[in-house]
A = this chain, B = another copy of it.
Amino acid sequence: MSLDLFKMNILYDYYGSLLTDKQREIFKMHYLNDYSLGEISQSLNISRQGVYDTLKRAEATLKFYEEKLELIKKHDILTKKVEKINELLDNLYLHVQSEEISKMIQEIKTILNELNQ
């Protein structure tokens, strides 16, 4: 496969709902469960070429949607901003003595880290 596993898994997380059931099944077998094309072919009783074509179409679909919507790119920007806020909160935490304020900062950090999921 030309594109790496990591990238494919992320694309699937974002856009997997836009694949057909068949594409999703084969994509998951290959990229999430590490089945070879031959193993998928045997397991689903379809040709190896059919498996290959379906995978390629699924990959193209996922890449198409990222080009159009850029959700992964946007999420990376969000992640960096959340990290920056986390750093600032950690710094703030070091500057306060009050137990109450420390708790408030912790509460903020908890909600903040939910943003990044």
Contact = CB atoms under 8 A, between A and B. Distances in A.
Interface of A: 15, 17-18, 65, 68-69, 71, 78, 81-82, 84-85, 88-89, 91-92, 95-96, 98, 100-101, 104-105, 107-108, 111-112, 114-115
Give the secondary structure class of A's interface: helix
A18 B68 contact: yes
Contacts of A71: 69, 71
Given A69-B17, A78-B115, A115-B78, A92 B101 contact: yes
Contacts of A89: 108
A95 to B, nearest CB: 6
A68 B17 CA distance: 6
A106 to B, nearest CB: 10
Contacts of A112: 81, 85
Contacts of A84: 111
